[in-house]
């Protein structure tokens, strides 16, 4: 019997991901199910959903079931360690999701690099993200973006925070017509407005997009962003630029993510299955000075790929009757198992399990 | 399968108008016009597969990726907030979302407002932005009846010409937002059929600019 039969599709993927992460020197980090409620309230906009399951511990302190893992890891990592920390986790998070707006337990596997983020470590995390997607499916795309371009362009508009947030959300849905409307209503210069619209629409290979991105430079923030993106893409190209795209509609909350952000997609899974980026700003908010980059894989989405339900539950349905001594049944089961077969013993036919063949023992058999 | 563009169209007038536009741009599927009860139509030559779905379900079909692209009213997008790309404003199917009530009366200021609507999320957001407390009465049709019968103070609904309101002695108190048909795409579909979808988008864009 191979492990392929005993492990579910999700378990096999999570095992392979753990192997991949450890091969790059990442260590598993096991954390408690609960966290102090305050941590999430202070960093509300970092979370994907604002709904949190909160409860009191025996002393009356308000706790929450983790809606997110990155915050806990960032909080629990000591600052300015001389050496970088490489951690991965496999945890359940609790969030409101789906159309029914109900709390769900979502299995999530992810990885965080905390420390001095240089070109190598950034590319390491991106490479692992790419390999993680390849573990999940042959048909995948990793989309890379740099928040600096958007942040820089928004700075140049001089718009207030609310409008900046609105435009950021619209970029996420590639909604050019409403970006134009907001820019018009707020008197943003037409050429600057068109640059933001272009940013929302840019999608494709590095070779196609990088030269176009250079035309969007308006200030230091945008120039630095394009330069960093160019450097990263140049390094990643050595490992093959296939399946890597640039997409500036990959936006994350601007108050936490400051540099490279990325999303992974695989065919037949609606929405992104992998999401990550550089979040130095979060650490800054937590009073730390290190940099950090990481990503999470949403394991619940794997159900879109798992088409294994047609499998058999057992190879043999072993039917015995009342005349057969238990030890005979036991030894028959042992013999069949020794042949590598999965056996389901029963006194009659079973409708609720799928088997390949029936063997009968005893007087009637 | 994967080379086809899967298109979700809203049943009804809007869907037919959109189909005529798409046909003109080379995405025809003659079988669609035959009067059958079929819901899925394919045209191998043009590489398209159409689904007729309930207008309020288009965004769901696109969000789950069964359809790569679709056309849906902005009202549905605002109400359901689906995780999709909104690539184009088609500029037709124009109407507005508005608050309306009995002619000559006003929004009550001194108590909780009873609001009858098919769009509870839009109504909630609108009144929350004005710091008003409301009770939502979710209805599925004939919204205009609610204020007439005294079930609600106001309605939040789509207003096209205003004729239905007038005939029922109602009037618009305030506009919430302008509505029109939008061309939307699934986020994963967009990545694996980028060329096809971008080509389709640019063809539509050129056509509606004229």
User: Worst-scoring range by mean pLDDT, A93-102, A133-142, B192-201?
Assistant: A93-102
On chain B, the residues whose CB falls within 8 A of the CB of A267 are: 2, 188, 192
The contacts of residue A179 (CB under 8 Å, 6+ apart) are A167, A170, A171, A193, A196, A197, A200
Measured between CB atoms, does A144 come within 8 Å of chain B? no
Identify the pLDDT of residue A1: 42
**Nearest-Cα residue of chain B relative to residue A173:** B85
Size of interface A-B (CB pairs under 8 A): 50
Residue-range domains of chain A with CATH: 1-117+295-311 (3.30.930.10), 140-266 (3.30.930.10), 314-361 (3.40.50)
Average pLDDT over chain A, rounded to an integer: 87
Nearest beta carbon to residue A271 from set B87, B187, B198: B187
Nearest beta carbon to residue A272 from set B84, B89, B187: B187
A333: pLDDT strictly greater than 80: yes
Identify the pLDDT of residue A3: 45
pLDDT tens digit sequence for B144-182: 999 999 999 999 999 998 899 999 999 999 999 999 999
Task: Work out the minimum CA distance from B75 to partner chain A, whole angstroms.
Answer: 14
Three-state SS for chain B is: CCCCEEEEEECCHHHHHHHHHHHHCCCCCHHHHCCCCCCEEEECCCCEEEEEECHHHHHHHHHCCCCCEEEEEHHHHHHHCCCCEEEEECCCCCEEEEEEEECCCCCCCCCCEEEEECCHHHHHHHHHHCCCCEEEEECCCCCCHHHHCCCCCEEEEEECCCHHHHHCCEEEEEEEEEECEEEEECHHHHHHCHHHHHHHHHHHHHHHHC
Tell which residue, B117, B118, B92, has the closest CA to residue B179: B92
Nearest beta carbon to residue B63 from set A174, A270, A272: A270
Identify the pLDDT of residue A16: 95
pLDDT tens digit sequence for A37-66: 888 888 877 776 677 888 898 898 888 888
Identify the pLDDT of residue A308: 59
Nearest beta carbon to residue A265 from set B86, B87, B191: B191
Task: Work out the minimum CA distance from B3 to partner chain A, whole angstroms.
Answer: 13
> pTM, whole model, 2 decimals?
0.84
Measured between CB atoms, does A145 come within 8 Å of chain B? no
pLDDT tens digit sequence for B52-90: 999 999 999 999 999 999 999 999 999 999 999 999 999
> Average pLDDT of A179-203?
93
Identify the pLDDT of residue A49: 67
Task: Work out the minimum CA distance from A336 to partner chain B, whole angstroms.
Answer: 43
ipTM: 0.83
A216: pLDDT strictly greater than 90: yes
pLDDT tens digit sequence for A265-298: 999 898 899 999 999 888 888 888 888 999 999 9
**Nearest-Cα residue of chain A relative to residue B183:** A175
Query: Do the bridges between strand A343-346 and strand B5-10 make them parallel or antiparallel, or are there none, so unpaired?
Result: unpaired
Identify the pLDDT of residue B181: 95
Task: Work out the minimum CA distance from A170 to partner chain B, whole angstroms.
Answer: 9
């Amino acid at each position: 019997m191979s492990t392929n039969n005993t492990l579910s599709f999700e378990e096999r993927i999570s095992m392979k991901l753990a192997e991949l992460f450890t091969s790059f020197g990442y260590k598993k980090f096991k954390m408690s199910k609960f966290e102090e409620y305050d941590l999430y309230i202070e960093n509300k906009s970092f979370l994907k959903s604002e709904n949190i399951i909160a409860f009191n511990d025996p002393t009356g302190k308000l706790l929450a079931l983790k809606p997110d893992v990155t915050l806990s890891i960032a909080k629990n990592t000591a600052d300015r360690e001389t050496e970088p920390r490489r951690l991965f986790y496999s945890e359940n998070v609790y969030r409101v999701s789906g159309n029914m707006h109900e709390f769900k337990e979502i299995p999530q596997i992810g990885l965080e690099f905390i420390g001095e983020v240089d070109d190598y470590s950034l590319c390491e995390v991106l490479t692992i993200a790419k390999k993680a997607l390849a573990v999940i499916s042959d048909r995948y795309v990793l989309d890379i973006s740099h928040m600096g371009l958007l942040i820089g362009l928004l700075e140049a508009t001089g718009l207030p925070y609310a409008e900046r947030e609105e435009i950021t959300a619209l970029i996420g849905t590639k909604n050019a017509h409403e970006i134009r409307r907001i820019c018009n209503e707020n008197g943003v210069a037409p050429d600057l407005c068109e640059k933001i619209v272009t940013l929302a629409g840019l999608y494709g290979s590095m070779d196609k997009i990088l030269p176009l991105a250079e035309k969007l430079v308006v200030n230091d923030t945008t120039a630095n962003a394009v330069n960093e993106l160019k450097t990263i893409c140049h390094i990643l190209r050595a490992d093959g630029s296939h399946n890597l795209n640039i997409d500036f509609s990959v936006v994350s909350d601007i108050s936490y993510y400051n540099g490279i952000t990325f999303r992974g997609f695989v065919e037949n899974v609606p929405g992104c299955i992998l999401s990550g980026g550089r979040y130095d700003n979060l650490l800054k908010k937590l009073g730390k000075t290190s940099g950090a980059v990481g990503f999470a894989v949403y394991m619940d989405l794997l159900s879109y790929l798992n088409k294994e339900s047609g499998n058999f539950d057992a190879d043999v349905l072993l039917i015995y009757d009342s005349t057969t001594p238990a030890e005979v049944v036991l030894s028959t089961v042992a013999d069949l198992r020794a042949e590598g077969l999965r056996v389901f013993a029963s006194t009659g036919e079973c409708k609720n399990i799928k088997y390949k063949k029936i063997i009968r023992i005893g007087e009637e058999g | 399968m994967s080379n086809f563009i899967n298109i979700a169209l809203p049943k009804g007038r809007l869907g037919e108008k959109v189909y005529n536009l798409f046909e003109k741009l080379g995405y025809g599927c003659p079988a669609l016009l035959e009067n059958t009860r079929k819901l899925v139509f394919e045209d191998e030559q043009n590489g398209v597969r159409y689904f007729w779905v309930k207008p309020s379900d288009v965004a769901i079909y696109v969000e789950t990726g069964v359809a790569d692209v679709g056309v849906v009213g902005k009202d549905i997008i605002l109400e359901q907030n689906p995780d999709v790309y909104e690539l184009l404003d088609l500029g037709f199917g124009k109407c507005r979302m508005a608050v309306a009530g009995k002619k000559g009366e006003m929004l009550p200021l001194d108590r909780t407002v009873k609001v009858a609507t098919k769009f509870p999320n839009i109504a909630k957001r609108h009144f929350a932005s004005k710091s008003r407390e409301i009770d939502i009465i979710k209805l599925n049709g004939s919204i205009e009846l609610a204020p007439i019968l005294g079930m609600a103070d106001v309605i939040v609904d789509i207003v096209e010409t205003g004729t239905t309101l007038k005939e029922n002695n109602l009037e618009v108190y305030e506009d919430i937002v302008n509505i029109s048909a939008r061309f939307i795409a699934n986020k994963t579909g967009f990545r694996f059929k980028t060329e096809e979808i971008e080509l389709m988008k640019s063809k539509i864009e050129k056509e509606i600019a004229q």
